[in-house]
Structure 1
Amino acid sequence: MKAFVSPLVSLCIAASACVAGPAKAALPADAPVRHVLLVSVDGLHGSDLAHFVAAHPDSTLATLAKQGIDYTNAHTVAPADSFPGLMALVTGGTPAVTGVYYDDSYDRSLAAPGSDCSTLGSRVRYDESVDTGKPSAIDLAKMPRDPKNGCAPLLPHAYLRVNTIFDVVHDAGGYTAWIDKHPTYEIVQGPSGNGVNDIFLPEIGGNYEGMNNVATTEITGSLAKTERYDAMKARAILYEIDGRTHDGSKDAPVPNVFGMNFQSVNVGEKLHGWRDADGDLTPGLDASIGFVDGLLGRFVRELDKKGLRESTLIVITAKHGNGPIDPALLHKIDSDKLEQAVRVAAPGALAQITYDHGALIWLKDQSETSKIAAALRAHADELGIQDVLHGTRLADLFPSPKKDSRTPDLIVVTRDGVIYTSPHDGKLAEHGGFHDDDTSVALILSNPGLAGGRLVRYPVSTTEVAPTVIGALGLSPDKLQAVVREGAGILPGVNWTSSHALAQNEAGVTRAGP
């Protein structure tokens, strides 16, 4: 059977940007807002935000917090990688329902890229390694194959198991846009493949922060280059606020839901780190947050200029944090040692291992799971291991790997501060694990129609962002499949002014300031 790929998806595969025709806005007229601008400042913790605002009380971030709600105890999903972190924000789901555990993972039901699907079990890479380079776009030859669809290449959006906020708004007749760092982030299109009207995915390149002998052309090897990259994407947001496509070439509706991610803080944390265990900012990290703050200020001013500030909910958060915050805890262990320990314990059993501030392990032979777990625990000191999850304890967090083709067989939780990496890696922090430093993120909702200057101190999840976005646009959060399955609710304290006639929820909410 020949796989069908829509013209829109074909265009997005061939280039790093895609623009569909404008949709007629048909969202409820009495919705609290008409637009939601969702911004992920990758790496930004709630503590980073607090330190920055205290030092810069006149900053854009400080002003946005005063005009809304600051969730000081917000956490993203684990493992805290960009891919599952973004999916939490735009679907309202954890990896248990999205099926997205990392941008480099494994699926027992798929076949290897370029194969005839006669053998199942494939590494699934949805990172920069699958670009064509002409221009930055996805190479179908590097996609895993789907035996249930004629052995066709499986693009990221088709890998996602639930719909997104873009799907819901698009289906309601709204107009949507998104900007991110790799072409594989077309995953935000949702399973339909057309949830985003205007998508822009310029490649940022590899994970070169802190690496030795990095070519000068690599963006993340340089904070200055990363900032220029972020500024380029921010310019696209300004075009969209002005009622243009991301490149400014055509008229378009101001998106009902749109946004982007910033990488400067992520790179700043890895290159400069923090002063101490309290998370006091180094000058380099303070400057990287300040750079993003300046771009956010441009967004706010442009919204004001266009008369859109009151009708726009601004969401500032992060896909993930970074750690360790305490520089004294940083301990790098050669990733080859971890992989070798698995191979020695059960030769031939390893299918895929993904590591950063922790590790995910998939096996060809699941009967070897307990043996490998025991071997890893026996070498816990030298491998920096705090815990190894498998069996019943793993199934408490995710679907059992015996029933779900994507769940890792083992999860290695490292001691706080342990990063599996190359011995020559100079970075000071990383993410991808289960530590508080990985999962703790900033979260601000800002709009003049919200009861402003509030702090919510008890724990909330970034999975609550998606239903909050949909509700703010006057649509039912139950339109999100992950919300129905896992039950994420609207963020607490979202109390619109009386003109919006929304129910108030004061529980656990306090006013910010004295």
Structure 2
Amino acid sequence: MLKKWVLLLLCTLFTLSACSNPAPKKQGLNSAPKNVSYKVNRTPHQAVKRVLLISVDGLHESDLASYVKKHPHSSLSALSNHGITYTNASATRPSDSFPGLSAMITGGSPNATGVVYDDSYDRKLLPPLAKKAGDKPGTEVLYDETIDKDLNKINGGGGINPAMLPRDPVTKQPVYPHNYLRVNTIFEVVKAAGKHTAWADKHLAYDLVKGPSGKGVNDLYTPEIVANGDASKSIFATEKNDDLKVTAIQNEIRGRDHTGLKPANVPALFGMNFQAVSVAQKLPGNGYADSKDKFSKGLAHAMNHTDQSIGKIVNELKKNNLYHSTLIIVSAKHGQSPMDPAKLRITDEKLITQGVSGSLVAQLTADDVAYIWLTDQSKTVSVVNAIKKNKGKANIQDVYSYQTSRSNWFFNNPADDSRIPDIVVKPKYGVIYTKPGKKIAEHGGINKDDTHVAMLVSFAGMKKSKQITSSVYTAEIAPTILRVLGLNPRSLKAVRMETTPVLPGIGQ
């Protein structure tokens, strides 16, 4: 029944030859058609020519549902009236921004992309020159504002400081974020097809989206969010940083580059992240007013501002007669936890490894989860046992490793992959490893609040809204984008590696 429903929906949404001559049932991505032209019945002579991808960082499925219900005249409501809402969408594990976006643009989990976190570890890379740690393999890999030449400037001081980057063990050259990615991106595939691409995000480290070639994005705009007093600590300032990116998108829709100063092709693939909702969820005095998704004043303001900003982008598409040929995807790199403020428990991350020799811990990254890389992997089991003794005082629910919890292990074997942590510490729900008064929510973990994100695919030619309740993953966005642009999803290495499907209801 589901397959018949999907085919019926496809024929309703799109006019393509496969509807009159369906492919055999069990072909999947291995037989993904090349150069398919998708045409919407409402505008039969106008194909889907571009995709706008928007990540509202922190946006849960329940946030979207609640907002649309309470604001029937909002921009998000208007998009949902002509779209498919996926009510059971999951982000990556870990639910950090870096692997979250990587999934959306590659179709792969951290096992395929090699991107585990924005603050991680690699056993093979050499330390940054700035750390003066010599050429011994094994280093923290930190891709955040600290790699800017000057993080106090919106343009990051003019670029990334190579002395702050990990280095290749053979060439000794700096490894930029885009070099770090193990698989290609949708931007590279779309650009290789002769189309224009653009993206806007919160740090210069989102050089990541260029892909391993370093050439996937024609127009990358990364206004540093921590500049001018650190916008990430103020909802209002974060909204202003989001505004910069919205203006960039508007300029690109008008056929200019992100500055508005140079002529450029309208991108076939472009988009941005919104950060204000995430900041409003995390800042003390804001977040959720209760456990039933009631927004605080600050979070409500951030939601309204983001909705209005999306409205500005949609209106710009309409002004330039591009709205009916643009597919719009709204999702989130990650959620945020806890949504229930009564469950919040601030805990010192030092309690996790209390009793473990400091020389054994190569890297500990902790938010509302903890990932641990060891200097001696043969000691993994003994370290796990030591951490389990700290369960009570460190508010730990479970401790996982490849050796001790293989049935719950969602990573590659760390013995075979230099980037995979040796141990994952899952705290009790509501626990954040941070200092008191610093934040009231965080992401990076693996519980429902971290991973259950919004996903909406909207197209003007869809006359009725739909809801799909089956489980989907944000990684499915990447092959879906290529499919609707008439490109082969299997052009993505991660899609081939992990057999990532196209979203149900779209191009199947």
Question: Which of 423, 430, 439 matches 1:410?
Answer: 423
Question: Which of 311, 333, 353 matches 1:297?
Answer: 311
Question: For the structure 1 residues 140 and 394, does the alpha-carbon distance in structure 2 shift closer, same or farther, using more than 3 Å as the test?
Answer: farther
Distance 1:466 1:57 in 2: 29
1:116 offset after TM fit, Å?
8.7
1:394 offset after TM fit, Å?
5.0
Question: Which of 497, 500, 504 matches 1:485?
Answer: 497
Aligned to 1:9: none
Question: Which of 85, 92, 97 matches 1:82?
Answer: 97
1:346 offset after TM fit, Å?
3.0
Aligned to 1:167: 188
- The reply on whether 1:334 has 2:348 as its aligned counterpart is yes
Q: Could you tell me which amino acid in structure 2 is paired with residue 145 of structure 1?
A: R
Distance 1:376 1:334 in 2: 14
Question: Which of 37, 40, 49 matches 1:30?
Answer: 37
Q: Deviations over 1:406-446 (max 9, x none)?
A: 00000111111100001342x22110111110111111000
- The reply on whether 1:188 has 2:200 as its aligned counterpart is no
Q: Does the 8 Å contact 1:52/1:286 carry over to 2?
A: no
Aligned to 1:368: 379
Q: Does the 8 Å contact 2:36/2:487 carry over to 1?
A: no
Gaps spanning 5+ residues in structure 2: where?
1-33, 39-46, 151-155
Question: For the structure 1 residues 105 and 453, does the alpha-carbon distance in structure 2 shift closer, same or farther, using more than 3 Å as the test?
Answer: same
Distance 1:118 1:287 in 2: 49
Percent identity of equivalent pairs: 46
Distance 1:286 1:459 in 2: 28
- The reply on whether 1:111 has 2:126 as its aligned counterpart is yes
Aligned to 1:225: 237
Q: Does the 8 Å contact 1:74/1:442 carry over to 2?
A: yes
Distance 1:76 1:394 in 2: 21
Distance 1:485 1:451 in 2: 36
Q: Please report the TM-score for the alignment, with normalisation by the length of structure 1.
A: 0.86
1:345 offset after TM fit, Å?
2.0
1:117 offset after TM fit, Å?
6.4
Q: Does the 8 Å contact 1:345/1:371 carry over to 2?
A: no
Q: Could you tell me which amino acid in structure 2 is paired with residue 57 of structure 1?
A: P
Q: Could you tell me which amino acid in structure 1 is paired with residue 180 of structure 2?
A: Y
Q: Please report the TM-score for the alignment, with normalisation by the length of structure 2.
A: 0.87
Question: For the structure 1 residues 282 and 490, does the alpha-carbon distance in structure 2 shift closer, same or farther, using more than 3 Å as the test?
Answer: same
Aligned to 2:413: 400
Aligned to 1:455: 467
Q: Could you tell me which amino acid in structure 1 is paired with residue 161 of structure 2?
A: D
Q: Does the 8 Å contact 1:143/1:155 carry over to 2?
A: yes
Q: Deviations over 1:73-112 (max 9, x none)?
A: 1110011000000001101100011000100100001111
Question: For the structure 1 residues 227 and 116, does the alpha-carbon distance in structure 2 shift closer, same or farther, using more than 3 Å as the test?
Answer: closer
Q: Deviations over 1:465-487 (max 9, x none)?
A: 00111101000100011000001
Question: For the structure 1 residues 430 and 116, does the alpha-carbon distance in structure 2 shift closer, same or farther, using more than 3 Å as the test?
Answer: closer
* Matched position secondary structure for 2:229: coil
Aligned to 1:212: none
Worse-matched range after superposition: 449-458 or 100-109 = 449-458
1:136 offset after TM fit, Å?
5.1
Q: Does the 8 Å contact 2:235/2:298 carry over to 1?
A: no
Which runs of structure 1 show a deviation greater than 4 angstroms over 4 or more consecutive aligned residues?
none
* Matched position secondary structure for 1:463: helix
Question: Which of 391, 399, 416 matches 1:388?
Answer: 399
Worse-matched range after superposition: 322-331 or 28-37 = 28-37
Equivalence map 1:106-505=2 (5 Å): 106-114=121-129, 118-133=135-150, 135=157, 137-148=159-170, 150-205=171-226, 217-271=229-283, 272-339=286-353, 341=354, 344-392=355-403, 393=405, 396-425=409-438, 427-450=439-462, 452-494=464-506, 503=508
Aligned to 1:11: none
1:488 offset after TM fit, Å?
1.1
1:30 offset after TM fit, Å?
2.8
Aligned to 1:42: 57
* Matched position secondary structure for 1:345: coil
Aligned-pair Cα RMSD in Å? 1.7
* Matched position secondary structure for 1:132: coil
* Matched position secondary structure for 1:145: coil
Aligned to 1:65: 80
Q: Could you tell me which amino acid in structure 1 is paired with residue 329 of structure 2?
A: V
* Matched position secondary structure for 1:153: coil
Q: Could you tell me which amino acid in structure 2 is paired with residue 61 of structure 1?
A: L
Q: Could you tell me which amino acid in structure 2 is paired with residue 180 of structure 1?
A: D
* Matched position secondary structure for 1:314: strand
- The reply on whether 1:52 has 2:59 as its aligned counterpart is no
Q: Does the 8 Å contact 1:67/1:450 carry over to 2?
A: yes
1:268 offset after TM fit, Å?
1.1
Distance 2:158 2:452 in 1: 32
Distance 2:192 2:343 in 1: 48
Q: Does the 8 Å contact 2:198/2:270 carry over to 1?
A: yes
Q: Does the 8 Å contact 1:136/1:203 carry over to 2?
A: no
Q: Does the 8 Å contact 1:69/1:453 carry over to 2?
A: yes
Q: Does the 8 Å contact 2:189/2:491 carry over to 1?
A: yes
Question: For the structure 1 residues 417 and 173, does the alpha-carbon distance in structure 2 shift closer, same or farther, using more than 3 Å as the test?
Answer: same
Q: Does the 8 Å contact 2:35/2:488 carry over to 1?
A: no
Q: Does the 8 Å contact 2:179/2:213 carry over to 1?
A: yes
Q: Does the 8 Å contact 2:281/2:288 carry over to 1?
A: yes
Q: Could you tell me which amino acid in structure 1 is paired with residue 397 of structure 2?
A: Q
Gaps spanning 5+ residues in structure 1: where?
1-26, 207-215, 495-501, 504-514
Aligned to 1:209: none
Q: Could you tell me which amino acid in structure 1 is paired with residue 37 of structure 2?
A: D
Q: How many residues align?
A: 456
- The reply on whether 1:102 has 2:123 as its aligned counterpart is no
Distance 2:442 2:473 in 1: 21
Q: Could you tell me which amino acid in structure 2 is paired with residue 170 of structure 1?
A: K
Distance 2:421 2:229 in 1: 35
Distance 2:186 2:469 in 1: 26
Q: Does the 8 Å contact 1:143/1:153 carry over to 2?
A: yes
Q: Does the 8 Å contact 1:464/1:490 carry over to 2?
A: yes
Q: Could you tell me which amino acid in structure 2 is paired with residue 65 of structure 1?
A: S
Q: Could you tell me which amino acid in structure 2 is paired with residue 290 of structure 1?
A: N
Worse-matched range after superposition: 90-99 or 444-453 = 444-453
